[in-house]
A and B are shown apart, each in its own frame.
Chain A
Amino acid sequence: MATRKIMAIIGANSKIGTLLAERMAPTYDLLLMDSSSDELMALTNSIRLQQPATNINSLACCREASWEADVIVVAAAMEQLPAIAQKIKEVTNRKPVIHFSPAGAATTTLQELLPHANVVVAELETAASTDRLQKVVRLGGVDKEALKLASEILARSFATAL
């Protein structure tokens, strides 16, 4: 009997965040976080409707979500990174943090902002249209376990979306 792990998705309203939330709901207990609470509530309700067995909650605070979580996904805009990192720094020690970032966009990496977290960067192709689902072009990180986990999550999430 495997204990269900908890995944926090910061920036759940983004394309990637929403896709991950839908695809990960059967495997993980989810904590969704984003700045627009109306949109977040709509997403949470739609996943609950599609997958009634899932355990999904929305939280207003990314620190709380990351504190409870075993895995943290950051799918927020680049300019929000420093503020998010500041909030979650204390509670992401030694935890896998998967950061979705447009390819080549990272000037300051999340790993620098979260020195004790096991950050994996999943670089997305820089598509002109933000409407279509993007493709992960590169995975980068130091911690082997976090990298393995990230590639498993990506394989399950993007198998039909690539």
Chain B
Amino acid sequence: MNEEEKALVKSYFSPKKLRKKQYLLQEGDACKYLAFVEQGLLRSYNVDDKAVEHMLQFAWEGWWISDTYSFLSGEPAAYNIDAIEDAELLLITLPHFEEMMLQVPRMERYFRILFQKNIISKERRLLSSISLTAEEKYLRLQHSNPELVQRIPQQLIASYLGITPETLSRIRKTIVQKK
């Protein structure tokens, strides 16, 4: 990308600082932005009738986060997005996103590749969540995202894997003993 394109791309985004525990999006609101994480750590999650949180995604430096359906359709969001650590974000609205794609075709290519990778990772996550044991799921996550396992509180990882914190703690103990 040349300097002119860089400046143009930058002009579409709105910088936003989010403090720990602040919401970027709350369930029921329309998701106005697609967010790029420059600094910090965010999560998207849903809360069920029994007030149990279900983690959908984590996003840290270099990652994007949004409620994609709500962002594209303008319908109410099904998820909450908040900051696990203080964060610095770049936000873009749908009209600006579309305009940027038209003005800077390189960004269209970037997002096509990003979305392809995202589909693959979602497919893998779905398959592992319906076919693997709790221990296998944890080991796979640790292998593919060692930083995530280090940085994110254990109870959130348990929720991300769809297991209880007690089960995760037991698994971690077993793994340590095996070593």
Contacts and interface: CB of A to CB of B under 8 A. Distances in A.
A147 to B, nearest CB: 16
B17 A68 contact: yes
A70 B14 CA distance: 9
Contacts of A95: 14
Contact of A94 (B14, B24, B27, B28): B14
Contacts of B88: 67
Interface string B7-46: 0001111111111000111111100000000000000000
Interface in A1-34: 1-3
B23 A3 contact: yes
B13 A3 contact: no
B137 interface: no
B16 A67 contact: yes
Nearest to A116: B11
A44 to B, nearest CB: 17
Contacts of B25: 3
A90 interface: yes
Contact of B26 (A3, A67, A68, A93): A3
A90 B25 CA distance: 23
Chain A interface size, under 10 / 10 to 19 / 20 to 34 / 35 or more: 10 to 19
Given A2-B29, A3-B25, A3-B26, A68 B14 contact: no
A102 B84 CA distance: 43
A116 B96 CA distance: 13
A133 interface: no
B102 to A, nearest CB: 17
A91 to B, nearest CB: 5
Contacts of A91: 15, 17
B44 to A, nearest CB: 14
Contacts of B11: 93-94, 116
Contacts of B26: 1-3
Interface in A70-109: 70, 90-91, 93-95
Given A2-B28, A67-B15, 17 more contacts: A2-B26, A2-B29, A3-B24, A3-B25, A3-B29, A67-B88, A68-B16, A68-B17, A68-B18, A68-B19, A91-B15, A94-B11, A94-B13, A94-B14, A94-B91, A94-B93, A116-B11
9 contacts: A1-B27, A67-B88, A68-B17, A90-B15, A91-B15, A94-B11, A94-B12, A94-B14, A116-B11
